[in-house]
């Protein structure tokens, strides 16, 4: 369940922050020690691994380690979960987390990364890199820390041109919501998911989904429908 994945995320972060540097006596500054150990999003990866398997795709075709795929603008990119059946790329998913205290620059980095990854893979697909196959299913999931700094309105800089009205006086959480909706509507990803959670409630598996369109249920249903349809056609 997603609640278990959320709980795992916060527990892994706390454990890594505590253990990082135990041997050397040197910790990374700020919150970096909670992410440099990896594994904090494994709960989500495992959840969707089992969903895909239950949709009729064998374990051997679902990859969580050997996930390197060729790109068009760069040689390769490592995804978080990749499904390859009969030498065809069936699905590829990225799982991301954004925890404070820095939300401004990191938000822009996440946006640029998500856009670039989609363009890179879909262009490689267009150029026939993944053999004769239907378009792969692409998914992007973001877990955002629910914090005063991520949920309070943020001013925008307009030194030369006015920004789109929908971005004015919006929080980073709302910016992520707009971004995720547009990823799907512009067909850059087949589905996107936005989850908000804080450490206190997250330790209990609690989370919020600000948009029904971007819920984990919609995300999982879309993925499973794609996997199940392919499994039946084999």
The pTM score is 0.89
Residue 230 near residue 85 (C-beta atoms within 8 A): yes
Structurally, how many domains does the chain consist of?
Answer: 1
Residue 19: pLDDT band with limits 50, 70, 90: low
- Asked if pLDDT for residue 183 goes beyond 90, the answer is yes
Residue with tokens 């640029």: 112
> What pLDDT is attached to residue 17?
59
| Domain span including residue 204 | 2-233
* DSSP 8-state secondary structure symbol assigned to residue 131: -
- Asked if pLDDT for residue 42 goes beyond 50, the answer is yes
The whole-number average pLDDT for the span 202-206 is 95
Residue 142 near residue 176 (C-beta atoms within 8 A): yes
- Asked if pLDDT for residue 37 goes beyond 50, the answer is no
The helix (H) or strand (E) run that includes residue 98 is strand 88-98
Residue 133: pLDDT band with limits 50, 70, 90: confident
Token digits of residue 54: 């239950």
- Asked if pLDDT for residue 103 goes beyond 60, the answer is yes
Q: Is the dihedral of CA 186, 180, 63, 70 positive or negative?
A: positive
Residue 65 near residue 44 (C-beta atoms within 8 A): no
Lowest mean pLDDT among 66-75, 100-109, 116-125: 100-109
Question: Using CA atoms, how far apart are residues 101 and 150, in angstroms rounded to an integer?
Answer: 9
Q: Is 135 helix (H, G, I), strand (E, B) or coil?
A: coil
Residue with tokens 């540097």: 21
Residue 168 near residue 156 (C-beta atoms within 8 A): yes
Look at 147 and 25; give whichever has higher pLDDT: 147
Lowest mean pLDDT among 1-5, 33-37, 87-91, 209-213: 33-37
> What pLDDT is attached to residue 190?
98
């Amino acid at each position: 369940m997603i609640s278990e994945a959320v709980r795992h995320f916060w527990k892994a972060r706390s454990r890594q922050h505590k253990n990082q540097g135990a041997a050397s006596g040197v910790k990374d500054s700020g919150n970096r020690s909670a992410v440099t150990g990896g594994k904090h999003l494994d709960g989500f990866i495992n959840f969707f691994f089992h969903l895909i398997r239950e949709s009729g795709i064998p374990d051997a075709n679902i990859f969580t380690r050997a996930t390197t795929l060729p790109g068009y603008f760069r040689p390769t990119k490592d995804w978080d979960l990749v499904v390859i059946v009969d030498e065809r790329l069936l699905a590829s998913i990225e799982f991301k987390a954004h925890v404070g205290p820095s939300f401004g620059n990191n938000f822009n980095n996440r946006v640029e990364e998500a856009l670039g990854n989609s363009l890179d893979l879909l262009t490689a697909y267009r150029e026939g890199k993944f053999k004769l196959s239907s378009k792969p299913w692409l998914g992007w999931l973001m877990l955002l820390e629910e914090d005063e700094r991520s949920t309070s309105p943020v001013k925008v800089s307009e030194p030369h041109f006015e920004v789109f009205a929908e971005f004015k006086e919006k929080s980073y959480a709302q910016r992520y919501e707009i971004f995720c909706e547009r990823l799907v509507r512009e067909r850059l990803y087949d589905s996107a998911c936005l989850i908000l959670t804080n450490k206190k409630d997250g330790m209990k598996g609690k989370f919020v989904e600000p948009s029904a369109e971007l819920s984990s249920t919609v995300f999982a249903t879309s993925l499973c429908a794609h996997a199940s349809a392919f499994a039946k056609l084999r």
